[in-house]
Amino acid sequence: MTAARSGPILAALAAAGLLVLAVALHVAVGAKTIPPSAVLEALWSFDPASFDHAVIREMRLPRALIAAAVGASLAVAGALMQGVTRNPLAEPGLLGLMAGASLAVVVGIGVFGVAAPGWQPLLAAAGALGGALSVWVIAAAVPGGTSPLALVLAGAAVSALLGALVTLAHLLDPESFRDFRVWLNGTLAGRETGVFLWALPWMAGGFLLACALARQVTALAMGEEAAAGVGVDVGRLRLLALLATVTLTAAAVAVAGPLAFVGLVVPHAVRVFTGADYARIVPWSAFGGALFLLLVDTAARVVLAPLEISAGLVTALIGAPLFVWLVRARL
Amino acid sequence: MTAAARWLPVKPSPARPPRPVAALTGLVALLSAICAASLMSGSYPLGLGDLVRTLTGAPPSDMAATVLWELRLPRLLAAALVGAMMALSGAILQNVTLNALADPSLVGVSQGAGLAVVSLIVLLPEFEPGWRPLAALGGALAASALIQALARPDGDAAPMRLILTGVGIAAFVSALTSVLLTYGQFEQALSALAWLAGSLHAATWTEARMLALVFLLLLPPFFGPHVP
């Protein structure tokens, strides 16, 4: 094996090592710090009588897996959106998908009483699709077309409207406000593994679709005519990418609520290392998203301990300055 | 991205509407009708005759006088002034950014004011509500200054960068506000939340008077010389 070919394998091994370390840190740190040796014991030789082991297997490990899966999904969704809209500011939160998914979940569960966890990703998907299409239609209708500015402003306006509808639903049903208040900030605390298990196949499907589309997205990034010239059906690619983005975003929102800016921060950080090839950006975004959200959630539990900050607020506080910097540097 | 400034431009409109007198008369008539309807409706209904009698100093009952002068009129004035001032600030922002979609609540100015007031309510509850307008002014000014400082002013894309920087600042400031609302003292957070929802429910003459004062102070510059 030559040095050039062993590079990616070494990078993948290093990435896997980092991810394991991040999971271990996430699991070990918390209201009660558990030594790494006990974490390993809980995994290899589980002792049902040990309280620490129960905490790890029942609470912390599921939460770490949820953080990794949600972060990976949102980052891949953001990378796809940025590639297909050729817009460095595209992100599921900014372009209305999360607001749509949130409203659909709040209305579906709070107003219509859809309780089965299997329905939540589907509800969220319908809402995310509605949000994405509204933003796209509004942006396409203004002179100048779907420019970054038009998309972001349409996204802000649609999100404001959908947020107001969520508030309306809460005013009509205070109980729903109590149930969803924390979830609507985007959080990984106290998530139900039931919803996560239902969302996981959707996440996997969306990720595989994104990987399959990656080459064509790279071609599209060079321009529509260039992409058509190498045989890419641009309309079909857009449709499939929308499908993948909606699936990934909806599954993530159903599990953890709207976590803003993950889909913006991670792909841009990843591009620094991978360059502009989406066949590399997509898988590395999945890794980067998982790592990012694991670290964010660890910080969210440690900074104000014993209180914990919603992870969605931390991602916004990290992501919004990056957004401002991107506007400054790239537009 | 050279065409950036021309994305979503404000349509060049004539300096004056074609028939200013007719337009103004129509708008004043509409405003009067809406004011009358607003003053007459509520859980204590007033007829048009009662309304006129109460306004001219011969109320049909003490109740009518109280409802009108103490509750509905200040609220009506506050609503009209708040609406006028919000619309004017949107007009200024749309003009300055050459963009028909600019609005203070989309680009971070309102969020700056909101964060300042929520901070006052949650972190410094010993300050009276009378300090809120000052805090809001400070917050809005600080947010605007931050947006101005961060948005690179050169080139065709400058107005667009101003708006997008504002969107970013809005997200950041909203997250800070959420942190205060979620982790502040519950009682204070609840009262801050009620204020944030935006309501004219509690408007009294104090608020109406202050709004009118600010409005009259800020109106003259609009009629100043046109800057091309």
> What helix, strand, coil percent values describe chain A, rounded to 5?
80, 0, 20
* 8 A C-beta contact, residue A195 and residue A120: yes
Query: CB within 8 A of B76, min separation 6: which ones?
Result: B35, B38, B39
Buried b / exposed e along B87-122 (16+ C-beta atoms within 10 A): eebeeebeeebbbebbbbbbbbbbbbbbbbbbbbbb
**CB-CB under 8 Å, A167 with B8:** no
pLDDT at position B12, please? 53
- For chain A, the residues whose C-beta falls within 8 A of a C-beta of chain B are 89, 94, 142-144, 147-150, 152-154, 156-157, 160, 167, 182, 185, 260-261, 304, 307, 309-310, 313, 316-317, 319-321, 323-324, 327-328, 331
Q: Tell me, yes or no, if B94 comes closer than 8 A to chain A by beta carbon.
A: no
Q: Report chain B's mean pLDDT, rounded to a whole number.
A: 81
Could you tell me the pTM of the whole model?
0.80
| Chain B hits for A186, Cβ within 8 Å | none
**CB-CB under 8 Å, A152 with B167:** yes
* 8 A C-beta contact, residue A272 and residue A288: no
* 8 A C-beta contact, residue A130 and residue A107: no
Apex CA B185: angle with CA B183 and CA B188, to 5°? 115
Share of chain B above pLDDT 70, in %: 89
Best of B11, B98, B173, B182 to mutate (most A CBs within 10 Å, chain A)? B182
3 state DSSP class of A305: coil
Burial of A14 (0-12, 13-18, 19+ CB in 10 A): exposed
Per-residue pLDDT reduced to its tens digit, B193-208: 777 766 777 778 888 8
Highest mean pLDDT among A258-267, A283-292, B7-16, B183-192: A283-292
Highest mean pLDDT among A55-59, B60-64, B155-159: B60-64
Q: Tell me, yes or no, if B106 comes closer than 8 A to chain A by beta carbon.
A: yes
**CB-CB under 8 Å, B175 with A317:** yes
Phi and psi dihedrals of B27, rounded to 5? -65, -40
How far, in Å, are A25, A116, A183, B189 from residue A177 at the CA level? 33, 19, 10, 15
Q: Which two tokens stand for residue A246?
A: 């909606």
Highest mean pLDDT among A66-70, A269-273, B6-10, B18-22: A66-70
Query: CB within 8 A of A18, min separation 6: which ones?
Result: A291
DSSP B220: G
pLDDT at position B55, please? 84
**CB-CB under 8 Å, A157 with B182:** no
* 8 A C-beta contact, residue A139 and residue A146: yes
Residues A236 and A241: their CA atoms lie apart, in Å, by: 8
pLDDT at position B227, please? 52
Q: Tell me, yes or no, if B63 comes closer than 8 A to chain A by beta carbon.
A: no
Q: Tell me, yes or no, if B1 comes closer than 8 A to chain A by beta carbon.
A: yes
Per-residue pLDDT reduced to its tens digit, B132-143: 888 999 999 999
Task: Name the residue in chain B with its Cα closest to that of A300.
Answer: B179
DSSP A260: T
Report which secondary-structure segment, H or E, holds A153: helix A148-172
B9-14 long-range contacts, Cβ below 8 Å, gap at least 24? B9/A143, B9/B98, B9/B99, B9/B100, B10/B94, B10/B95, B10/B98, B10/B99, B10/B100, B11/B100
Residue B15 has pLDDT above 60, yes or no: no
pLDDT band at B228 (very low <50, low <70, confident <90, very high): very low
* Residue recorded with tokens 């619309």: B87
pLDDT along chain A (331 residues), means of 10: 65 88 84 74 77 79 91 95 87 90 87 76 90 90 76 87 84 72 77 83 94 91 83 88 92 89 90 87 94 91 78 89 85 70
Best of A95, A153, A166, A304 to mutate (most B CBs within 10 Å, chain B)? A153
pLDDT at position B11, please? 52
**CB-CB under 8 Å, A160 with B105:** yes
pLDDT at position A69, please? 94
ipTM over 0.85: no
Q: Tell me, yes or no, if B22 comes closer than 8 A to chain A by beta carbon.
A: no
Closest CB to A304 among B175, B178, B183: B183
Phi and psi dihedrals of B99, rounded to 5? -140, 125
**CB-CB under 8 Å, B157 with A316:** no
Report which secondary-structure segment, H or E, holds A203: helix A193-221
How far, in Å, are A22, B28, B38, B80 from residue B32 at the CA level? 65, 6, 10, 11
pLDDT band at B67 (very low <50, low <70, confident <90, very high): confident
